[in-house]
Amino acid sequence: MGQLIAAVMFSIMAAILVIAFLGIVLARGGKKVNARTTLFAGILTGLLVLTIMALISSYTVVQAGSVAVVKRFGEVVTVFEPGLNWKIPFVDQTIVYRTQEIVYETSDNPDVSKADYTDYQVDTATSDGQQITARYTVRFRIKPQEAANIVNNLGTESEVVEKVVKQNSRVWVRTLLRNYTASQLYSGDIREAQDAIASQLRKDFEEEGLELVFFGLRQIGFTDAYKQAVENKQIEAENIITRKNQAEQAKYEKERLITQAEAEAERQRLERIGVAQGQAESIKLKAQAEAEATLLKAQAQAKANELLAKSLTPELIYWQAVVQWSGQYPTVLSSGGGEQFILPGDLFRMPEPGAVPTPTAEPTPEPSPTPAP
């Protein structure tokens, strides 16, 4: 309605200007001013201007990635899709919403951020009372089918960000981070807290016609005093771990030395057993060799004796006796107490064939005389 009033006023002003211009021109030319003609020219100019403005206002071009909600006398009548759309001039008004992803981001210096909407980081505290700051990013989009409801309930895109995205995200970040201790958040494992905040925002956005694309906790900031305390604690923990590792290393070294000594003792024992077994085996083999040699020698001697016995004849024996005689005559004691020589003829007499040696009868000793009483 405001556009219509503005267009009519602009047309009237254009008509007045035309009438005044024509009157001045005719007066300077010395011609008679025809009021009817001048008025007609002014009205015609005003209508022409109003027509041109109506044509310009009769369409709208909606860009890709956005929609336009059409309001007529304050009431939402339709939603224009991307492209060329026609509307009633000066009556229909459009409110454009981006359906692309919109980024809202908090940081310690919002001026350098390239997000669509920026804000300062959130201050809060952990469950154990540590003061922290949270920097996070929210990516969302407006559902095209919910654009009409958003116009009626929230307003423009910037109003949507202010009333829903900003307020809800800051409240949930400040509230839910209080459920975690400083150590949980300081360790960097913030996925659980991040998922809890995203879950709450997703529900809120769905109720308002928005779609949460992404929520991320970029950084949790701690005070310098807490950082120093954590660093000292970590140093002490590292020292404890180092001492524990050193003790474990000493224990391992001790076990290694014991194992090495046991292995060396076992090796020496096995070597001694091996040497003893080798010596025993050597003695055994040597004894077996000597026994076999003795046996072979005995067998050879027996064989030789057997062969020698077969080869001995009386003549051979007689001949050996002659050969071996030293030239001395053996003597024997006679029964008379004197000596008697054995002559060579008796010594080397050939035995008669078939003669059997006759044993010599031993003399019977005479009884000793009995002494007189």
Residues 107 and 68 in one domain: no
Binned at pLDDT 50, 70 and 90, residue 251 comes out as: confident
Residues 156 and 167 in one domain: yes
Query: What is the number of other CB atoms lying within 10 angstroms of the CB of residue 290?
Result: 10
Average pLDDT for residues 224-246, to the nearest whole number? 78
* Mean pLDDT, all residues of the chain: 81
Q: Which pLDDT belongs to residue 346?
A: 54
Q: Which pLDDT belongs to residue 356?
A: 47
Question: Residue 20: helix, strand or coil by DSSP?
Answer: helix
262-319 tens-digit pLDDT:
888 888 888 888 777 878 888 888 888 888 888 888 888 888 777 777 776 777 777 7
CA distance 294 to 371: 63
Residues 26 and 110 in one domain: no
Q: CA quadruple 81, 82, 85, 91: dihedral positive or negative?
A: positive
Q: In 3D, which of 220, 236, 239, 240 has the Cα closest to residue 228?
A: 236
**Domain end (from 171, 188, 222):** 222
**Domain end (from 75, 99, 123):** 99
Q: Which pLDDT belongs to residue 262?
A: 86
Backbone angles phi and psi of 115, in degrees to 5: -70, 160
Distance of CA 90 to the CA centre of its chain: 67
pTM: 0.54
Q: In 3D, which of 173, 163, 176, 170 has the Cα closest to residue 210?
A: 163
Is the residue at 9 inside a domain? yes
Is the residue at 84 inside a domain? yes
Residue type, 29: G
Range of the domain at 52: 1-57
Q: Which pLDDT belongs to residue 373?
A: 40
191-205 tens-digit pLDDT:
999 999 999 999 999
| Domain count within the chain | 3
Is the residue at 66 inside a domain? yes
CATH code: domain of residue 136: 3.30.479.30
Q: Which pLDDT belongs to residue 362?
A: 47
Residues 22 and 84 in one domain: no
Give, in order, the Cα–Cα distances in Å from 59 to each of 76, 81, 306. 17, 13, 149
Is the residue at 89 inside a domain? yes
Is the residue at 321 inside a domain? no
Q: Which pLDDT belongs to residue 20?
A: 81
8-42 tens-digit pLDDT:
787 888 878 887 877 777 777 666 667 777 788 88
Is the residue at 307 inside a domain? no
